[in-house]
Structure 1
Amino acid sequence: MSKPIRVLHVVRKMDFGGVQSMLMNYYRNINRELVQFDFLVQGNEPGFFDNEITSLGGKIYQVTPMKENLLKYHRDVKSILRKTNYKIVQAHQNFANIHSLTQAHWSKIEVIISHSHNAFPERSVFKQIIKKFIQYRINKISTYKFACSKKAGEWLYGREQLENGKVKIINNGIVSEEFKYNQEISNKIRKDLNITGKFVIGHIGNFSSQKNHNFLIDIFNDVYKEKKEAKLVLVGIGELEQIVKEKVIKLGLEKQVLFLGKRSDVSSLMQAFDILVFPSLYEGLPVVLVEAQASGMKCIISKDITDEVKITDLIESISLNEPSNYWAKNVVNYSYGFERNDTSKLIEDNGYDIKVEAKRLENLYLEMI
């Protein structure tokens, strides 16, 4: 082929986050002479990955944010699709995929892909009815249906689509060697963060209600009552960050909790954690838990996260119905030391080697057209 296939990925923004990290993992490892990624984002503020995207040959299109003006969002997407010559459009906004995919359908795009990255349990009957209609439309206009896990696939497309093999699972692949435990890196990061000799609890995720930081702080507060040498390291940004900071101050934990914001050295930071605590209210299949297992780290997570993430025996699930002190007791169990083993073979054998998965996705794109 003289020119690569260009795939237009529709996202909210190419900023720090799990979906974005997954996309960049694929983008870095796919054969860009055959397949190129471009991105359609909302708003004109620069994203965390924008510079890297352009350095790899990708284009970034900015459109009006949905929340600001949905009608204008539709017009902007329509305008871009009519002016360009994309054969593949892939949307990564879960139920909000319906907006860009509808425009792709009306613009007669050859391959329309919906990608599910989450599994949010909707309790409102009215919203359930609306989502059933959206689900029907997404299933009808999508050429292909992707999901990061079976749970995420069933959530967005329905059980029938999943059981009939209409949903392709695209694993959140990683470069496992980058996360392999390294004592020297661990020592350096701990020294830089002034946490040498401490029991370090880590969490990586943006400050949104989904990630349940409020409960995470309660857990850490109970851990600290028993382990005064404990530290909590939070990596991420988000709308609830200030609220979480205020709670930390109110509990008198400001010297024990580190807010690191956006970081490009997540693989190194994980070397410095003793344990990852992840009490999310819901997830699709978080790439951070694949990365944590690749680093040989113990992870305590909520039972609301799919068991599909249990690639190794490093994952321990606890119900969110259990009180914070119960979670804390289980966390403290690992404060006395835990041997970090090389899990890269398990990661690769379970289909999370990005080099293999990127080749698989590359072949899928080539077959599609």
Structure 2
Amino acid sequence: MKKILIYGPSQFHGGIETYVENVLKTLKGRCVFTILQISNEDMYHSQFIKENELAEIINLGFQSGWKSKLTNINLKKFDKYLEHNKFDIIHINENSASAYWLAKIAIKHNVKVIYQSHNSKSHSVNFSKFPKFLITLLRKYQVNQLKKLKIKRIAVSDKASQFVFPNDTNVEYIWNSIDSKKFRFNKSFRLTKRRFLGIPQKSKVGLFVGRLSSQKNLFWTLNLVKKALKLGIIDYFIFLGDGPLKEKFEIELELLDENLKKRCLYLGQQDKIGSWYSVSDILLMPSIYEGLPFTLVEAQASGLRCLVSNVITKQVQYTDLLTFKELSRIPDEWLLKLNELSKSQNYDRNKYIIDLKKSLFSNESFKKNLEKLYGL
């Protein structure tokens, strides 16, 4: 069996983490997988991956910050690791070209490199205090370094491809897949969870799912939600997710008046996300940038209407449930559209699962693409 090293998953639940876990489950028993941990914090779902023997997880003690870059300590650790551990393929999953050095070292050790771009922009906490022009120069340098390497270029969308592999026509797309059973609209879930939360069955419920980060336009969304609740456009709103802005977000929620606080619910990270699509009537995603947000693939399978920013690639759309809207500082136009969509709820939500099975996001399509990618 081929030995494959995977790089990319972090401690937070996002697109890369979902994608990698699906790769492991789809090809279990057909490849030997090892995941190279990014930081010293346990990656998302690490316990699940270990218990189900999907992959070995290793930690080389990579360091962050400028000191590690100046001393090349991470590069040296990875170089030494590959001297003693042989792999057929390294599959690098990244939001930028910043991991070019991993590809460079892997090529040195005759390991085939697959470099997959998962986003149309990248925000680094480590660089947040640096002038924007320096970050731009660094990103350009990384892209140019990656361009020189003999690698297999993969992306999750056209926008993600352009960010990491600009003007490169030799890029292939691989879209993740979802289990249709987990995301089919379920009326029983809807009734049970609404009853548990004290939400009347006829209430209009909005939903946000994603990392609590600046990329997701979190506080703009909260401002929009507050206005929508006050105007009666929606009756309740549910926020799901975790991330670096969690503490600041929770403080903002505490500042809401009591009436809004009862109807604006933050429920943290949820594993069984499918049931929450059934609970809700409309999903908001006013992201500042995205690769290909898989939340939208899942939500469409559940027959959930989605109001999303127009920076999101149209490649994610396989139903008539997505409405794209330009972002602005004042969310009035979003309120009007949200009001319009929230009134249009008289439709069969179960029928959309059929569209999923016919789409590029089906399990069958994903499996075939992976087999081709890994040469199985």
Q: When the two structures are superposed, what TM-score results if normalisation uses the length of structure 1?
A: 0.90
The equivalences for 1:1-369 within 5 A come to: 4-13=1-10, 15-30=12-27, 32-54=28-50, 55-68=52-65, 69-70=68-69, 71-93=72-94, 94-109=96-111, 111-120=112-121, 124-159=132-167, 161-162=168-169, 166-197=170-201, 198-227=203-232, 230-252=235-257, 253-321=260-328, 323-336=330-343, 337-339=345-347, 340-366=349-375
Counterpart-to-counterpart distance in 2, 1:153 and 1:8: 22
Cα pair distance change 1:194/1:99, threshold 3 Å: farther
Q: Which amino acid aligns with 1:103?
A: I
Q: What whole-Å deviation, never above 9, does each CA across 1:124-169 have from its counterpart, x for those lacking one?
A: 454444323322221222420010011111111012x13xxx1110
**Contact kept in structure 2, 1:274 and 1:297, CA below 8 Å:** yes
Offset at 1:106?
2.8
Cα pair distance change 1:125/1:45, threshold 3 Å: closer
Counterpart-to-counterpart distance in 1, 2:115 and 2:340: 42
Q: Secondary structure at the match of 1:38?
A: strand
Offset at 1:276?
0.5
Offset at 1:18?
1.7
Q: Which runs of 5+ in 1 are unaligned?
A: none
Counterpart-to-counterpart distance in 2, 1:107 and 1:187: 56
Counterpart-to-counterpart distance in 1, 2:106 and 2:12: 24
**Contact kept in structure 2, 1:17 and 1:206, CA below 8 Å:** yes
Q: Which amino acid aligns with 2:140?
A: K
In terms of mean alpha carbon deviation, does 130-139 or 282-291 score higher?
130-139
Q: Secondary structure at the match of 2:283?
A: strand
Give the root-mean-square deviation of aligned CA atoms. 2.2
**Contact kept in structure 2, 1:181 and 1:342, CA below 8 Å:** no
Q: Which amino acid aligns with 2:172?
A: K
**Contact kept in structure 2, 1:14 and 1:41, CA below 8 Å:** no
Offset at 1:228?
7.8
Q: Which amino acid aligns with 1:250?
A: L
Q: What whole-Å deviation, never above 9, does each CA across 1:187-232 have from its counterpart, x for those lacking one?
A: 1222233323332111111111101111100110110111186222
Flag as ranges the 4+ runs of structure 1 deviating above 6 A: none
Percent identity between matched residues is: 24
Q: Which runs of 5+ in 2 are unaligned?
A: 124-130
Offset at 1:307?
1.5
Q: How many pairs align? A: 358
Question: Of the two structures, which has the highest relative contact order with CA contacts closer than 8 Å and spacing of 6 or more?
Answer: 1
Counterpart-to-counterpart distance in 1, 2:17 and 2:299: 17
